[in-house]
Structure 1
Amino acid sequence: MTKKYPIALWTLVIGAFAIGMTEFVIMGLLPEVAQDVHSTIPQAGQLITGYALGVAVGGPILVVITYKMAQKNLLMLLMLIFCIGNLLATVAENYSFLMASRLITSLAHGSFFGVGAIMAANLVEYSRRASAMALMFTGLTVANILGVPFGTFIGQQLGWRSTFFIIAIIGFITLIGIFLLVPKNKEQKKGNIKQELVVLKSGNLWLALLIAMFSFGSVFTLVTYITPVLTDVTGYQSSTVSWLLVVFGLGVTFGNIVGGKMADWNINKSLFISLSALVVYLFIFYLFQFSAILMVPGIFIFGVLAFAMIPMLQFRILGVSADAPTLASTLNQSALNLGNAGGAFIGGMSVEYLPLKDLVLVAPFITVIGLLLFYVQVQTTKVRNPL
């Protein structure tokens, strides 16, 4: 294996980019979508919730159904489903049809990142497995920095359907790339559904999933309402917020890469450092939010600390359930998405009943739960080396 990452890995990065774009771009197109499918904006917002639930529930089910498929073939099938779902969105005449297309598209999300993470790790030498997984996840973060603003602009200029058509094209390019460039895993064991399902009896797995859900939940508690925090607490103009979100996105991307390298070094120590640092920093961030100058580096650091844990959590789950890596990896995506939804809900409750400035103080207590659960698991269970 050369020192550089193989081109096959970059194909997975492009796929992650497309998936990230289709998940988040609709946030910037809600008014256009609502008007076109004759729904209210809150109803159109449920298209985001429906997608998240599809990821959480549909991904593991799809893994069980396709357990006999080779990883490469499964990735190709997932991208085909992804393309079909986005193409259906371009011809949706009503809200129900559009919701159905979103649910179809969401089926590819959890499984792609679950299976793709394993594939990415297998494409590089042993010492860089977590870094390779982190690189794949940068496609998701770059989608937020570049893909979502670009898709929103195209949708506003040419109609929201054109955005989903472009996403489908990117998905098709990924499908061709996987077919031509991703090698078959000759060492992959034949699918064994009983072996995959028996892991569901493991309390150790469910504890690890709870760790992932709570650890990352605090991030979306704050991120969901970061725009009103920047405008109403810090005092930025609305026109400036988009640039600050780019700064946040750069921090997210950097954090993802750093998190992968730290996981390659020592997964448990790295995760403990990452979670502890995020908890402490959020209390510091409470002070930063009152300064327009400090919020620029502050939001970048928040992005770094918040998303450094993603490759760590994804890498660690493979050591918790090494006998069923595909299902465990996909379930981890479900846990992260449930954390997103739960964190956003708690954030909404905080904003409704507490001053907006106190939202930053509510968020870290969710990660504290994840940190405590992590400490319990480390002290009571020996986790095998991932992969």
Structure 2
Amino acid sequence: MALCALALGAFAIGTTEFVIMGLLPQVAGGLDVSVATAGNLISAYALGVVVGAPLLTAVATRLGRKQALLAFLVLFVLGNVATVLVPGYAGVFASRVIAGLPHGAYLGAASLVAAQLVGPARQATAVARVLMGLTIANIVGVPAGTFLGQVFGWRAAFLVVAVLGLLAAAGVAAFVPALPKPEGVGLRTEVVALGRKQVVLGLTTAVFGFAGVFAVYSYISPMLTELAGLSDGAVPVVLALFGAGMTAGSLIVGPLADRALRPTIYGSLAALAVVLVVFWFAIDAQWSAVVMTVVLGAVGFGVTAPLQVLIMQKAGKAPTLAAASNHSAFNLANAGGAWLGGIGIGAGLGYASPAIIGAVLAVVGLGIAVAAGMLDRDPSGAEPTDAEPAEPVDAAESVERVG
């Protein structure tokens, strides 16, 4: 139940991040701005994520992890309620920044709590279960939110997200035990851990590897309509299938990473590069375009949980800031991948060109990951992680103890 509560928070976060993409015409009309201007609200949320992950995590270093999770969810709810209530474009822009602030901090803390609840043998599986809330949001939350926004007004989607955030907070309060704050770990310790060579290499791997996914995903709609010849009405269905692929990939990769963490990262990035090259050939036919979109979802997000666990381990006894910063890295990948993919299209290379650009980015990410692995095997270059194996915590017993 604790993992379900944490995953519900991730579901709410994933829904609010992506639902606005399907409601841009309605948002633009409601705020009396152009669609392009309304699109800046997506960037506003990403800005909040990038800034908020390290900032809020630093502020919350004095709190226990359960208290930090609740604080992040309250801020998330307030940001989405503000999106519902504020009247003008400037106010909505500010509210999207606020809603994005706790994104990375919450997911980082939730990953740490999930890993602590199950112990070292199943860390990757537990983290994948929590982050699966993000993938399920793309199957259920985003289509449902888009429908509600189209029927009842775009602000209704964010009202529902705020309610989901409240339910997640109630679940965290009820089922997540009051885990103690690690002794002797403060902001300075967290910053030092963030600067460790292996942590920095892990974050850099996330930026390049995940940018390969978003180089394509940012332009998947025109690819499907202009190149594959699908109708506009078919695009939401294919995107839901993409989300189903993401979920399947998360279920598969978690147990694999528990058995062999670095090889799973290598395999995920190598598979992503291959899939993106095949995608470039397959996008011109409807059936192959749909199949490869699903496969892209499965392999593209397979590296998420393993990288999260690796960064947490390499940060040692102070993993909170590093775990949150990983989500800042993913959002930088989001922005960078979309930018580089757009450069290819703008240069006249065609709508399929982001697939090749993404494959190159994935190969760069794989190279960084392999270099980090070689450094780990070199006694002269490896860093001590000072990590202590986490003992699994029984949630019911812990709640009873502190209650």
- Unmatched segments (≥5 aa) in structure 2: 377-381, 391-403
Query: 1:326 maps to which residue?
Result: 320
Alignment match of 2:61 (pick from 57, 67, 72) = 67
- Displacement of 1:342: 0.1
Query: 1:291 maps to which residue?
Result: 285
**Do the aligned partners of 1:68 and 1:190 also contact (CA within 8 Å) in 2?**
no
Residues 50-97 of structure 1, C-alpha deviation per residue, up to 9 Å, x if partnerless?
A: 111110111101111111100000000011001111111111111111
- Displacement of 1:290: 2.1
Alignment match of 1:54 (pick from 34, 48, 56) = 48
Query: 1:91 maps to which residue?
Result: 85
Query: 1:20 maps to which residue?
Result: 14
Separation (CA, whole Å) in 2 of partners of 1:173 and 1:359: 39
Superposition map of 1:360-375 within 5 A: 360-375=355-370
Superposition map of 1:142-221 within 5 A: 142-186=136-180, 188-189=182-183, 191-221=185-215
Alignment match of 1:257 (pick from 248, 251, 258) = 251
- Unmatched segments (≥5 aa) in structure 1: 1-6
Separation (CA, whole Å) in 2 of partners of 1:291 and 1:33: 33
- Displacement of 1:323: 2.9
Query: 1:141 maps to which residue?
Result: 135
Separation (CA, whole Å) in 2 of partners of 1:88 and 1:174: 18
Query: 2:393 maps to which residue?
Result: none
How many aligned positions are there?
381
Query: 1:358 maps to which residue?
Result: 353
Matched residue type, 1:119:
V
SS of structure 1 residue aligned to 2:62: coil
**Do the aligned partners of 1:69 and 1:191 also contact (CA within 8 Å) in 2?**
no
- Displacement of 1:191: 4.2
**Do the aligned partners of 1:288 and 1:295 also contact (CA within 8 Å) in 2?**
yes
SS of structure 2 residue aligned to 1:308: coil
Separation (CA, whole Å) in 2 of partners of 1:135 and 1:112: 15
Separation (CA, whole Å) in 2 of partners of 1:57 and 1:373: 25
Matched residue type, 1:355:
G
Matched residue type, 2:372:
Q
Q: TM-score, normalised by structure 1?
A: 0.95
Separation (CA, whole Å) in 2 of partners of 1:342 and 1:72: 33
Separation (CA, whole Å) in 1 of partners of 2:271 and 2:157: 38
Separation (CA, whole Å) in 1 of partners of 2:136 and 2:178: 27
Residues 316-373 of structure 1, C-alpha deviation per residue, up to 9 Å, x if partnerless?
A: 1012211321000011111111011000000111111112233322210011111111
Separation (CA, whole Å) in 2 of partners of 1:202 and 1:12: 28
Separation (CA, whole Å) in 2 of partners of 1:189 and 1:39: 51
* Stretch deviating more after TM superposition (342-351 or 203-212): 203-212
Separation (CA, whole Å) in 2 of partners of 1:201 and 1:30: 39
**Do the aligned partners of 1:16 and 1:139 also contact (CA within 8 Å) in 2?**
yes
Q: TM-score, normalised by structure 2?
A: 0.91
**Do the aligned partners of 2:14 and 2:134 also contact (CA within 8 Å) in 1?**
yes
Matched, 1:379 2:374: yes
Identity of aligned pairs, percent? 37
**Do the aligned partners of 2:65 and 2:180 also contact (CA within 8 Å) in 1?**
no
Separation (CA, whole Å) in 1 of partners of 2:353 and 2:16: 32
Closer/same/farther in 2, CA of residues 112 and 158 from structure 1, 3 Å limit = same
Separation (CA, whole Å) in 2 of partners of 1:263 and 1:185: 25
Alignment match of 1:231 (pick from 225, 230, 234) = 225
**Do the aligned partners of 1:86 and 1:167 also contact (CA within 8 Å) in 2?**
yes
Query: 2:398 maps to which residue?
Result: none
**Do the aligned partners of 1:255 and 1:308 also contact (CA within 8 Å) in 2?**
yes
Query: 1:82 maps to which residue?
Result: 76
